[in-house]
A = this chain, B = another copy of it.
């Protein structure tokens, strides 16, 4: 049997981002935490974490963290059956796309998590990295646009989010005086979430434009919207995020009628207890738009 104190020390070092803070959280000295990590590495015969360039688990350490999270989720079910056990509520580690987090996510799962006493550990990742984290066991579930299921996990379609190419009316007057077209697309600054964000490219391709274009990079959904509202550029924004601003006319489409739809899928470990199953039931009831 594994010594779960050692695994918990590893998990706490990762959660707290360091040995000293992990010691504080566990009520141990920093050197006691180090000793537990070393004991784990001796038992395993290889390192469980690296300190450089940033503190991170090794692949073996990640497997242990994955295992610990599954055990914690199962313990939670056990303590529902045997309430006097009083196990601590496990933190549910979930990777999700930034746009869901700033729109429908909290409303959809809020009541359930509150009633279940679930604590969340959210990680923002684009789809491929999120699924890799699920495969590596770093997260228990992943919300993303990729429908490809992972071995050992289930995958459920949740619907589609609609994106519109939006800017302020003033910006549209300046950069799109003749509507969408090559001349405008070549010179109008766009906003892109990051190097892997393909929504802007997909939008331009639909409009028949394949050339270069100037753009700002802003890896924050809300920051992205703020740049658009400040008239710095136009960009693909979820309709759900700006319903009111479209109604008041603060933002408008640079190409009325053009929309992009992005499907969302919920990937989650099988056999991980009732907390994840309950959360999944909540998500299945969501109506995206």
Contacts and interface: CB of A to CB of B under 8 A. Distances in A.
Contacts of A121: 216-217
A17 B231 contact: no
Interface in A160-200: 189, 194-196
A231 B98 CA distance: 20
B119 A220 contact: no
Interface in A205-242: 212, 214-223, 226-227, 229-232
A216 B226 CA distance: 26
Contact of A222 (B17, B120, B222): B222
Contact of A217 (B25, B91, B194, B221): B91
**How many copies are assembled?**
2
A122 interface: yes
A63 interface: no
Nearest to A241: B222
B217 A122 contact: yes
B16 A219 contact: no
Main secondary structure of the interface of A (DSSP, over half): mixed
Interface size range of chain A in the complex: 35 or more
B124 A219 contact: yes
B216 A119 contact: yes
Nearest to A197: B17
A123 interface: yes
B232 A195 contact: no
B214 A106 contact: no
A101 interface: yes
A84 interface: no
A74 to B, nearest CB: 20
Given A21-B195, A102-B222, A120-B217, 6 more contacts: A25-B212, A106-B232, A110-B232, A119-B216, A122-B223, A124-B223
Interface of A: 15-18, 21, 25, 89, 91, 98, 101-102, 105-107, 109-111, 113-114, 119-124, 189, 194-196, 212, 214-223, 226-227, 229-232
